[in-house]
């Protein structure tokens, strides 16, 4: 709890009551979630005598989340003036052909749904979070939300989670060898204006050949982003620790344990990652190898 007297004292050294004989009412200045970074003592007074809050590094931004348990998962979230929006795509409904194909469902989460999803990814799936500093917030939001708005409601299954029933839409056909969570994520980031996936080389004759990094599995994308986060350009920043600080493990969630089945999926992902590393083409570039299609134009 706080009150006007305390704020006035931080800025002037005196309370309202001491200066004007006024007494303010108590008022709460704390929000429910997330837990924002608290400024250290003495940081409330600016050089010109005005109160300023410490800058929150995740108040605004575009973020890529990667987790590599089993086959792994990748998704995008956007923070716009402290409001969180999550865009997560996957096989969340009907599946066929050995689960390699299925309804390509985009879940669009906000508010408490987004906070719960964050904590599940941070503490159960042990995900990493990377801020993409040259991705445009508004364009990223428009890209994913237009895909979601222009699509059809999910066809519900008995195993489908309630959040997908409420916030999921079928935007295309999922193909594990083509359009999947990784390719949808990179497509959205490229559309946002980010150059993070641009690559190229110069030939002996000084001709510049422009390429784009292309990924089809989470493990290869995570390794790429981890490497980029060590560069001086600061185009990619590993910001996992900040998310954990602002979204603490209030439910005491434990990491998901690996099983022989999940380790097998991870091994297959490793093979796919090695085959596609350094190439500008993946299964997603050519529409997949199993007949899946997802050329949904935003």
pLDDT at 211 over 90: no
283 contacts: CB under 8 Å, gap ≥ 6: 175, 177, 178, 216, 289
The dihedral sign for the CA sequence 144, 146, 148, 152: negative
pLDDT at 50 over 90: no
Q: What is the per-residue pLDDT across 173-205, written as a single tens digit (0 to 9) for each?
A: 998 877 889 999 999 999 999 999 987 544 455
Q: Show the domain range for 226.
A: 61-286
- The answer to whether position 28 is within a domain reads no
Q: What is the per-residue pLDDT across 129-165, written as a single tens digit (0 to 9) for each?
A: 999 999 999 999 999 999 999 999 999 999 999 999 9
- The answer to whether position 3 is within a domain reads no
pLDDT at 54 over 80: no
Q: How confident is the model at residue 99 (pLDDT cuts 50, 70, 90)?
A: confident
- The answer to whether position 166 is within a domain reads yes
C-alpha to C-alpha distance for 130 and 109, rounded to whole angstroms: 19
- The answer to whether position 55 is within a domain reads no
Going by the DSSP 8-state scheme, the letter that residue 14 receives in this structure is: S
- The answer to whether position 31 is within a domain reads no
Overall domain count for the chain: 1
* pLDDT number for residue 172: 94
- The answer to whether position 37 is within a domain reads no
* pLDDT number for residue 205: 56
Q: How confident is the model at residue 8 (pLDDT cuts 50, 70, 90)?
A: very low
pLDDT at 23 over 80: no
246 contacts: CB under 8 Å, gap ≥ 6: 34, 35, 36, 37, 56, 58
pLDDT at 171 over 80: yes
* pLDDT number for residue 42: 47
Biggest CA pair distance of the chain: 80
- The answer to whether position 47 is within a domain reads no
- The answer to whether position 40 is within a domain reads no
pLDDT at 62 over 60: yes
Q: How confident is the model at residue 212 (pLDDT cuts 50, 70, 90)?
A: low
pLDDT at 276 over 70: no
């Amino acid at each position: 709890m706080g009150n006007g007297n305390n704020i006035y004292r931080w800025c002037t050294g005196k309370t309202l009551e001491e200066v004007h004989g006024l007494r303010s009412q108590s008022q709460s200045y704390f929000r429910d979630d997330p837990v924002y970074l608290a400024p250290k003592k003495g940081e409330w007074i600016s050089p010109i005598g005005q109160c300023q809050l410490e800058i929150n590094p995740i108040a605004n931004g575009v973020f890529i989340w990667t987790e590599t348990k089993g086959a792994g998962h990748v998704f995008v979230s956007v923070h716009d003036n402290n409001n969180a929006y999550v865009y997560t795509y996957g096989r969340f409904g009907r599946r066929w052909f050995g689960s390699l194909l299925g309804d390509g469902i985009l879940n669009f989460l906000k508010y408490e749904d987004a906070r719960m999803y964050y904590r599940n990814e941070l503490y159960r799936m042990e995900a990493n979070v990377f801020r993409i500093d040259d991705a445009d917030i508004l364009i990223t939001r428009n890209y994913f939300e237009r895909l979601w708005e222009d699509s059809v409601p999910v066809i519900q299954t008995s195993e489908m989670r309630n959040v997908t029933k409420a916030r999921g839409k079928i935007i295309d056909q999922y193909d594990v060898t083509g359009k999947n969570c990784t390719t949808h994520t990179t497509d959205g980031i490229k559309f946002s204006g980010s150059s993070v996936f641009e690559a190229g080389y110069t030939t002996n004759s000084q001709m510049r050949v422009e390429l784009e990094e292309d990924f089809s599995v989470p493990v290869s994308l995570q390794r790429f982003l981890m490497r980029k986060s060590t560069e001086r350009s600061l185009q990619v920043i590993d910001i996992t620790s900040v998310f954990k600080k602002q979204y603490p493990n209030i439910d005491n969630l434990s990491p998901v344990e690996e099983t022989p089945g999940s380790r097998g999926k991870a091994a297959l992902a490793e093979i796919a990652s090695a085959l596609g590393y350094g190439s500008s083409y993946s299964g997603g570039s050519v529409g997949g190898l199993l007949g899946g299609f997802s050329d949904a134009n935003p």
